[in-house]
Structure 1
Amino acid sequence: MSWISETKYRWYETLAMNIIRCGRVPRHIAFIMDGNRRFAKSEHIPKIDGHSKGFEKLAECLRWCLDAGIQEVTTFAFSIENFKRTEDEVNGLLDLAKEKFEKLLAEEDKLKQHGVRIRVIGNISLLPLELQQVIARAMICTEKNDKLFLNIALSYTSHDEMTQAVEAVLRHGSDTLESEDINERLLDECMYTRQSPAPDLLFRTSGESRISDFLMWQLSTTVLYFTRVLWPQITIWNFLASILTYQRASHHLDNFKEQNCRDEKHLIKTSSCFTDRVQSFLYRLDMYRREFLLKLSKVK
C-alpha cells in the first residue's frame, strides 16, 4: 500500500471538496488515529490487520489533505504508553512501522513528486535500532520536499517531549545560556515540533473525547473535532465535516491568536535573551540533531 493513495473522486465529492476550499482551510491538521483494534475486533480479524487497515486509511487521508490544500499533517502513530501492551502486539506494530518506512524509501520519487517531507517526532531512541535507522533515512531523503509536511509521532508523549526539551537546555546550553534566557519561547524552540506551527485542527476518531498526552504544549488555539467513527472507517465526508467545523469555529479564536502574537512580539522586543546566545544554542542543537540522524542513517 502506497503512502499516498491515488484516490479517484466521484463528481459530487469533487464538488464538496471545492466548496470547502472556498473557505478557510487549516494549514496544519493533527490526527489521533484511534480505533484500529476495535475495528479489528468488529471484523473478526487479527489486531495487526486492523493496524494495517489504519495505515491504508492514513494514505487515503493524506490524499484528501493534499487536495484540500493542507500544508502539514501530524499523526499520533505510537505512544510511549503503547509499550505497555502485549509483547506480540508491540512487536507487530514496530515490525509494521519498519515495513511501511521501507516502503516509503522505495517510493522516494513519488514522495518527491508530491513534495511530501517526513519528520518523525518522538523519543526514537526507545525504538529498535533497525527501525531507528530506516526512520533516519526516510527523514534525510525527504528533507528537501516542501509541499506537504507529514509529522509522525512515534514513541511519543507530550510529557516526554517537554522533559526532552528541558534536558536539551541543560545538556547543550550549560556553557552558552544564562538563567534569564530560559523562557516559554526558548522551550518551544526545543520541542520535537519546533519546525511546525501549532495545529489549527485536531481530529480524533472512535468516540473518545480526550487528548491522550498528544501535543499538549501546542494545542492552546486548536479547534478540536471528535467523531465516533473508528479510524479505518472514516470517509471523505468525515474529513470534510471536520474542516467545516474548523471553519465555523476558527473565527472565534482569531482575537485570542492575535493577542498571543502581540504577547510574543512584546516578549521578543523587551527580552535580551533571544539574541546571540540563544541563537547560537539553537543552531548547535539543530546541528546536533541532524548529525544524529545522518550517523544513524548510515549505520549498517
Structure 2
Amino acid sequence: MKTKGKQTGSIQPRKRSFLETLKKDWSLWTFCIPGIILTFIFSYIPMYGVQIAFRRFNAKQGIWESPWVGLRYFQRFIDSPYFVRTVTNTLILSIYGLIVSFPIPILLALMLNAFRHKRYRKVIQTITYAPNFISTIVMCGMLILFLSPSVGIINTVIKSFGGEAINFMAKKEYWRHLYVWSGVWQGMGWSSVIYFAALSGISPELHEAAKCDGATKFQIIRYIDFPSILPTATIQLILSCGSILSIGFEKAFALQNDLNTSVSEIISTYVYKVGMIDNNMSYSSAIGLFNTMVNLVILIIVNKAADKMSGTSLF
C-alpha cells in the first residue's frame, strides 16, 4: 500500500526486482513456459495475417504483395444488407444467453453447497456435469431428432394428447429459445465448478458463528456465501461481456436451415459463408476483426464500470 509523507519509526521492506523474483520462484515460473509458448504460437503469430483484412488478398501474390485497400472491406460490411441482421441476431442471442445462463450456475452452486447430504449432492453434481462432455454436434443432432415432427419424442407426446405435430426447427420463434436453453442445460454444471471452488474457500467458522446466532440457511447464503463469491462472479461477468459478439459457430450452423435463417444468421456463420464458401478471405477477415474490436471496446467499458461499482476488475 502506497503512503504519502515521510515515514518514521518503521522499516519499509525493499521491493524485489523482477530478476530476483524470477530467481527465487523459478520452479513456479517454469510451469508457465508451456502456456506462454502455446499462446505465442497460436495467438500472437497469427496476428501477422490480420493485415489481409486491409488488402485484396491473392494467394499467388501472398500477403505482402496483395494490393492494399485500407478500410474498404469494413465499409462494405457496414453498408451491406446483412450488417443489421447479423449484428442484431448476434446481440439478441448473446444478451438473451447471458441473462439466462449467467445466474443459473451461481444458483446451482449456492444450492448444492447448502445441501448437506453429500451422497445425493455428488449424484446431482454428476448429472449436471455430464452434458458438458457431449459434443456440440452430437447435442445438435439430439435436438433435431427429439424435435422431429415425424419421429421426435416431443411431437409423439403432443400427438398422443390429440395435438398436431410442430416442426420446431422450422419456426423462427422457437429457434432462439432452443439455442439458449440447450446451452444452459449443457453448460450449467461445468460453469458452476468455479463457484464451488470459491465457496470452498469460505471459513467454516463463519457458518458456525452464523448458526450460533440463529441464522437460517437462506440468511447464511445471503450474507456469507453470496458476498464471498461476488468477486468471482464479477470477473466471470466481465469475461462474458467481453465476448458478447463471439457466439460459437458450430451450434448455430448445425441448427440453421433455410426456414430459420432470419434469426439464426449471426456474425460467425456469416463469416464462414463469406470466407469458406464464397472464398473471400479478405472480407471475412475484416468482419472477424470488426467483431474482435467491438468485443474489446465492450470489455474495457464493462471492466471500468465493474471497477467503479464493486472495486473488482480484470485490470
Give the TM-score, by structure 1 length. Answer: 0.28
Which structure's residues are more often strand, by fraction? 1
Q: Rg: which structure is higher?
A: 2
Structure with the largest fraction of helix: 2
TM-score by length of 2: 0.27
